[in-house]
């Protein structure tokens, strides 16, 4: 996976590659999907949500550039894989999942794989961020938003990086925002497709029967 899907497609950050090699992806998918865990595609995890393909996880992590000791926030925990990868780079991770059932799955997965001490799973609306642990050096949003939630920008540290898919429900562009004092730079990384980000500062609740990410 690391050589053929990540390094071959341009992922170069050593910490990211080491984290992707270390975290057992098959522990973060359903039993029915375990045989496909290391394929380069998104996999359904139930209730209209997915675990993103390995390349997208690596790309977003590399763009967010977490360093040992950084404080990172993830919006959209799912089964906990992206949070585990962030923790494996040395970051202290706070991750928010709006679905209580998925949040509990993530807690169990993270405990079983030894990342529970570096990851706190919060159940709630992630579009408002998590002010209790702000500011963050890195924020990753693993669902597509119609716009950048203001709360997430406000909770970035100076020099902090926010990686977020922005666009319609069907297709988005992956953006990297970097906060410099009162200014925020915005770079488009590439096209992507994620499930919709649901919450007060994003899309309203609606079933979504296609698997993206």
Rounded distance, CA 173 to CA 156, Å?
Answer: 21
3-state secondary structure of 186: strand
Residue of 30, 52, 168, 185 marked catalytic = 52
- Measured CA to CA, the distance from residue 104 to residue 97 in angstroms comes to 9
52 is catalytic: yes
**What is the separation of C-alpha 185 from the centre of its chain, rounded to a whole number of angstroms?**
20
Q: What sign does the dihedral 108-109-111-115 (CA atoms) show?
A: negative
Question: CA-CA distance, 137 to 155, in Å (whole number)?
Answer: 9
Taking the CA atoms of the chain, what radius of gyration do you get in angstroms?
A: 15
- Per the DSSP assignment, residues forming a β-bridge with 196 are 144
Structure tokens at 208: 């979504």
The rounded distance, in Å, linking the Cα atoms of 5 and 7 is 6
CA 102/CA 192 separation, integer angstroms: 23
The 10 Å Cβ neighbour count of residue 206 is 9
Catalytic sites, residue numbers:
52
């Amino acid at each position: 996976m690391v050589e053929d899907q990540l390094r071959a497609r341009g992922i170069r950050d050593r910490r990211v590659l080491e984290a992707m090699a270390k975290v057992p992806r098959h522990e973060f998918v359903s039993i029915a999907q375990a045989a496909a865990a290391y394929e380069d595609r998104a996999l359904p995890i139930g209730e209209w949500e997915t675990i993103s393909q390995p390349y997208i996880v690596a790309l977003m992590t590399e763009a967010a550039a977490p360093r040992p000791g950084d404080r990172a926030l993830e919006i959209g925990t799912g089964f906990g894989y992206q949070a585990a990868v962030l923790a494996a780079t040395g970051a202290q991770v706070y991750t928010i999942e709006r679905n209580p059932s998925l949040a509990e799955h993530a807690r169990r997965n993270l405990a079983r794989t030894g990342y529970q001490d570096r990851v706190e799973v919060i159940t709630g609306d992630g579009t408002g961020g998590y002010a209790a642990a702000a500011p963050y050096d890195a924020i990753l949003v693993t669902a597509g938003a119609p716009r950048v939630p203001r709360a997430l920008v406000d909770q970035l540290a100076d020099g902090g990086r926010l990686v977020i898919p922005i666009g319609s429900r069907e297709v988005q562009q992956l953006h990297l925002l970097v906060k410099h004092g009162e200014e925020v730079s915005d770079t488009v990384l590439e096209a992507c497709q994620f499930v919709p980000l649901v919450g007060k500062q994003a899309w309203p609740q609606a079933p979504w029967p296609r698997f993206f990410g």
